[in-house]
Structure 1
Amino acid sequence: MSNETTLTIRGNLTADPELRSTGSGKRVANFTIASTPRTFNRQSKEWEDGPTLFQRCTAWGDLAEHISQSLRKGSAALAVGRLSQRDYQAKDGSTRTVTELTVDDIGPSLVRATAQVTRTQGASGFQGHTAQPGQEFGGDDDQPEF
């Protein structure tokens, strides 16, 4: 749809992506990206963290598989997708609203890291790119925080 809200978010994965298959066999990955804005306080001459945004994300098909193979808890990532909102009925009977980013593209942040990209051949014949696990960032100590 041409009038959908698109969003780019930069942050860190809060947990390993959860990869599963639907009843029809389509693969889906679910994960959350945490993004914390930082501002410089000129009076104290220190950086201050703002409130953290936790954005729930979903990816489908080959992209879901690539995400689950490439990104881990703490991985710094840039995700682009379509923002949507939906209501659901909670166990206590109340109606709740959630926002979700349906990811169209994602990659490791290269601000403070490097990545090794490997071409893949997906089921659709599309040749995409994915970073190799353990190679996208040089180790857990090199993970940037946003």
Structure 2
Amino acid sequence: MAFSVNNITILGNITRDPELRFTPSGTAVVNFGLAVNRSVQNKNSGEWQTEVDFFNITAWYKLAENCAESLSKGDRVLVSGRLSQDSWEDKEGQKRSTVKVIASVIAPSMEFATCKLEKNPKMDGGGVTAANNKGEEVDFTDEDIPF
């Protein structure tokens, strides 16, 4: 069986403040939009035009908490992760779907800004980052896991 590759890395501007929520079991999840600009040349006029692609970004766990605390609308960030497709049926019975990015890395772009890195405290035992700053254990179910 051949393996597939599902990786995406994009650089763009956050279109809305990251929205932090928690699952019923306490798992942090954040969602925000990302606008990615690209230049294309008009075949008829030869002029360069900007086209924009919009992506929905989702991050989990400590990455979600850090994003909500550190990022805001307009910030330029690099997002790396995988694509995930959600499908559903609307009220009229039509099948709908959307593709979002499940982020594994989110980093500020320092092309037009600077940042100060502040490391999170670590728990004892293997250097695993705490689920929250108090180091409390978080209970979660299989439905909370993003893969």
With the shorter chain as reference, the TM-score category is: 0.7 to 0.9
- Using the aligned pairs only, state the percent identity: 38
Q: CA deviation at 1:121?
A: 2.0
Q: Helix, strand or coil: the match of 1:115?
A: coil
Q: Distance in 2 between matches of 1:127 and 1:20?
A: 19
Specify the alignment match of 2:109 in structure 1: 109
Flag the structure with higher strand content. Answer: 1
1:29 Cα shift? 0.3
Partner letter of residue 3 of structure 1? S
Residue 12 of structure 1 aligns with which residue?
Answer: 13
Contact 2:62–2:129 under 8 Å retained in 1? no
Tell me the amino acid that sits aligned with residue 18 of structure 1. E
Cα deviation for residue 86 of structure 1 reads 2.4
Aligned ranges for residues 81-92 of structure 1 at < 5 Å? 81-92=81-92
Give the whole-Å Cα distance in 2 for the aligned partners of 1:125 and 1:72. 28
Aligned to 1:61: 61
SS in 1 for 2:54: strand
Aligned residues: 125
TM-score if structure 2 supplies the norm length?
0.74
Larger Rg, first or second structure (1 or 2): 2
**Counterparts of 1:122 and 1:4, CA distance in 2:** 32
- Relative to structure 1, the CA distance from residue 122 to residue 22 in structure 2 (aligned partners, 3 Å threshold; closer, same or farther) is farther
- Structure 2: gaps of 5 or more residues: 131-147
Alignment deviations for residues 30-82 of structure 1 (CA, whole Å, 9 cap, x no partner): 111111102578xx8975212x1111111000000000011100110000001
In structure 1, C-alpha distance between the alignment counterparts of 2:14 and 2:90, rounded to whole Å: 25
1: distance between equivalents of 2:62 and 2:32? 15
> 1:55, 1:100 within 8 Å by CA — same for their partners in 2?
yes
Which letter maps to 2:120?
Answer: T
**Structure 1: gaps of 5 or more residues:** 129-146
What secondary structure does 1:62 align onto?
Answer: helix
